[in-house]
Structure 1
Amino acid sequence: MREAAFVKQNKAKWIAFEKAITLNSKINPDQLADDYIQLTNDLAYAQTYYPDSKTLQYLNSLASQAHQKIYKNKKESKNRLVSFWKDEFPLFFYQHHRMLFYSFLLFAVATAIGVISAVNDDSFVRLILGDSYVNETINNIEKGDPTAIYKSGSEIGTFLGITINNIRVAFLAYAFGVITSVGTAYVLFSNGVMLGAFFTFFYNRDLLFEASKSIWLHGTIEISVIVIAGCAGMVMGNSILFPKTYSRKVSFLRGAKDGLKIVVSTIPFFIIAGFIEGFITRYSNMPVWLALTIIFLSLILIIYYYIIYPIILHKTNAKKIHTA
């Protein structure tokens, strides 16, 4: 890459970082440290490809200033977990909203394929869900309780089993990113097709609403965070495919770290979904208004924390930098 192109690509980032440290802006110390790591990566690149250049001199000076500010003033929060969930992660996740959209889009397309396939081929549902599950559900339908399968087993056993399995699927979606985004795309696609076939199975029996008001009690959070876990895997996978100005190794390590942060953020939500499935979904005879309220609040929780709140924090942080 030509030096002029390198400067043009990163100039805005460097200026924002310089302003943050020289004007003593209020910025999260850990975010500052992450920005510093990016700066040192750019510095290493400049040392390799643009020795004796003004760009290298500028980055050296900026890195020196940043080092003093970070390692003299960085303090650990008294409550690191609260800081992570409340400020650090949402602000960090803002930069990955586009990847979240791609993950959602892929999952939605896969779900549509599952629906279309199940509508046009009765055997498709059995192929995807398995004969055992389909036969048991048909038996439950004949008994007048389509979602009876969610009432089997103890509350605690179901809660623990479902939660552990969902977390496993999330980390699988993330881990498959190590073979580039194609691996994660496969996990998202297979789960999307399964979801589409699943609901079409009930639709074909005129039980879509009856099933939905029970299944989406836990499924709203469960499916949403699987998509978010897919985003984590795609972040890691794309870091291999598109290293930008970094070496592929450095880019991969950065992508793996970012992806891990994202997938770890889903764990509390999987616990909530598991709790709902273990202790609440089994009461399918609850009033419709109550079921819809739980579903709606679950959706609001996910949308607010992963989309709206990061945007709010980003805008607030940007204002602080510009007014400092």
Structure 2
Amino acid sequence: MREAAFVKQNKDKWLKFESLLKNKNPIPPEQLSAVYIEVSDDLSYAQTFYPQSNTVLFLNEMASAAHQKMYKNKKESRNRFIGFFTEEFPLFFYHHQKQLLLAFLIFALFAVVGAFSAASDGAFVRGILGDAYVNMTLENIANNDPMAVYKQAAETDMFLGITINNIRVGLFAFTLGILAGLGTAFILMQNAVMLGSFQYFFYDKVLLWESARTIWIHGTIEISVIIVAGCAGLVVGKSLLFPGTYSRLRSFTFGIKNGLKIVISTIPFFIIAGFLEGFVTRLTQMPDWLAICIILLSLCLILFYYVFYPIYLHNKKSNDEQQLHQV
């Protein structure tokens, strides 16, 4: 069955279920269970025949809403916040792995472009990073403290300033998705070229290891969640370019809502990155093994939360549904 026919056949039923789940009045357990099973059946069918479609996202959201109503407790306001980060978001984000990969590839490509451009043109780094920053860094290198820039501001001031700036960049990457994803790609390009030229600058000064083991203490999480925020913008862009069986306005509404969820997920990580940059990165005399441990733990945290954990929860949910149907 074509997706359009599948949607037309079930549209009225889904709208009825959606209205029922949004109603704040209690739903009889038997009726709620029946709704959950039926929506899960439709979701399984859509995942099989129309993967990565808006229909899958819509049904997955409705199945999650039914699941939450079935298992919510009296401390809903408190558990809602925890549940968003531990279950709701990872399950939802499983369906946006392609956009995450695309955001990563865009960033990686332009990081290489930035490094290559810096290698080809001696003035490129100054054009990207600014004369003041380059001159200050050259002075720091001459003083045998190339990473002194991370020690200039007070710890708390630096933490707050960096965190607010990074969240602003993430919001820009998300909101500029309304330009069919091109604005998001520009933000990713801008940050990637800056990173690539920055790293080549230190490579050219035979300080690549010194710079990498320092900046990636905070940069592993910071850069990763900028890419995730870019994923949010690409989700918005995709909703405009490829509405599927939905009207462009309804698809765009889904895209904004889904992209916003992704951006919200990055805020705790931006705070962690800001804390590391404000309080830890400045400790440039720490042993290499400690810096490497922080970098590897940060990388594992990002990969776990945005890649492996969503896959695990999705597979677990699919297995639970299959067992429920067998019963």
Question: One fold, TM greater than 0.5?
Answer: yes
Fraction of identical pairs, as percent: 51
Give structure 1 stretches of 5+ with no counterpart. Answer: 36-40, 43-65
> For 1:217-228, what aligned pairs fall within 5 Å after superposition?
217-228=217-228
- Deviations 1:273-306, CA, capped at 9 Å, x for gaps: 0000000000101000000000000000000000
Measure the CA separation in 1 of the matches of 2:201 and 2:68: 59
Q: TM-score, normalised by structure 2?
A: 0.80
How far did 1:243 drift? 0.5
- Tell me: CA distance 1:11–1:304, structure 2 relative to 1, closer, same or farther (3 Å): farther
- Deviations 1:50-76, CA, capped at 9 Å, x for gaps: xxxxxxxxxxxxxxxx9xx78985847
1:202 aligned residue: 202
Measure the CA separation in 2 of the matches of 1:304 and 1:11: 38
- Deviations 1:113-139, CA, capped at 9 Å, x for gaps: 001101111100001111111110011
| 1:188 matched to 2:188 | yes
How far did 1:7 drift? 3.0
Measure the CA separation in 2 of the matches of 1:175 and 1:202: 33
AA aligned to 2:97 is H
CA contact (8 A) 2:128 2:194 kept: yes
AA aligned to 2:178 is V
Measure the CA separation in 1 of the matches of 2:239 and 2:8: 17
How far did 1:188 drift? 0.5
- Tell me: CA distance 1:292–1:241, structure 2 relative to 1, closer, same or farther (3 Å): same
Measure the CA separation in 2 of the matches of 1:96 and 1:118: 33
Q: Which runs of 4+ in 1 moved over 2 A?
A: 7-15, 20-25, 69-78
How far did 1:22 drift? 3.3
* Secondary structure of the structure 1 residue equivalent to 2:134: helix
AA aligned to 1:303 is L
> For 1:71-220, what aligned pairs fall within 5 Å after superposition?
75=72, 77=76, 78-220=78-220
| 1:22 matched to 2:22 | no
2:51 aligned residue: none
| 1:241 matched to 2:253 | no
How far did 1:194 drift? 0.7
Q: TM-score, normalised by structure 1?
A: 0.81
CA contact (8 A) 2:36 2:67 kept: no
1:63 aligned residue: none
Measure the CA separation in 2 of the matches of 1:302 and 1:158: 23
* Secondary structure of the structure 2 residue equivalent to 1:266: helix
What count of residue pairs does the alignment treat as equivalent?
284
Taking only aligned residues, the RMSD between alpha carbons, in angstroms, comes to 3.0
- Deviations 1:25-53, CA, capped at 9 Å, x for gaps: 5x99xx9xxx9xxxxx97xxxxxxxxxxx
* Secondary structure of the structure 1 residue equivalent to 2:169: helix
- Deviations 1:126-161, CA, capped at 9 Å, x for gaps: 011111111100110000011100001100000000
Give structure 2 stretches of 5+ with no counterpart. Answer: 18-31, 48-53, 56-62
How far did 1:21 drift? 5.2
Measure the CA separation in 1 of the matches of 2:193 and 2:236: 23
